[in-house]
Amino acid sequence: MDRFRYLVVEGPIGAGKTSLARRLAARLSADLVLEQPEENPFLARFYHDMPRFALPTQLFFLFQRARLLEPLAQPDMFGRPAIGDFLLDKDPLFARITLSADELALYQKIYEALRPRSSAPDLVIYLQAQPATLVERVRRRAAGYERGISDEYLALLAESYARFFYHYDGAPVLIVNSENLNFVERDEDFELLVSRVRRMKSRREFFNLG
């Protein structure tokens, strides 16, 4: 695992990316780079009225994510590894499914001007799950700002993530079917994933317990 200096865990809401990022950071003594959705003052309102609050919600996250990645633009060769729970290249994914055409054009201009020129991750772990599984996980944890998320939106996100990572080639990707895996509560599942990451040889591989 030491060869991965910058590792990102990604996936739709409910996939478990932040929990896995925390556990990997503890294993690697790595710095955590986590987005902070609770800081976004528009998020709860967005889930209740998407057309009205999509643009400010999206721009807040863009500014936040760019700020969090600024330190990685000039990595310290003697510093600790970093583990993140978001990939900035994925940021436009949300914009394309929530913004109007005019709003999307404005967002794209701001995105290109703002995005830091940081190095690509050494590895992206993309967590997949069926929409029904995402819904169940989100309802179970019931964070305040997530109570307004519709089942339809979670299904659309899952489809959009799958489409994005089908084409993504900016970094090596390990695609993980997380349906039957619990990296937080089951140590054996976490160790299986760590072992699978260590054996990564190509730029796109799959991990599926069936």
- Tens of pLDDT, residues 5-24: 899 999 999 999 999 999 99
Assign residue 139 the CATH number of its domain.
3.40.50.300
- With respect to residue 74, please indicate whether it lies within any of the assigned structural domains: yes
Residue 175 confidence class, pLDDT cut points 50, 70, 90: very high
**What's the pLDDT tens digit per position in 99-111?**
999 999 999 999 9
List the domain range (segments joined by +) for residue 76.
Answer: 6-207
Q: Is residue 131 part of a domain?
A: yes
pLDDT at site 77 = 56
Confidence of residue 78 (pLDDT cuts 50, 70, 90): low
Q: Is residue 1 one of the residues assigned to a domain?
A: no
More confident residue, 2 or 171: 171
Count up the domains in the chain and report the number.
1
- Which helix (H) or strand (E) covers residue 100, if one does? none
Assigned domain for 182 exists: yes
Residue 152 belongs to a domain? yes
Distances (CA, A) of 157 to 16, 52, 137, 200: 14, 19, 14, 27
16: left (phi over 0), alpha (psi -120 to 50) or beta: left
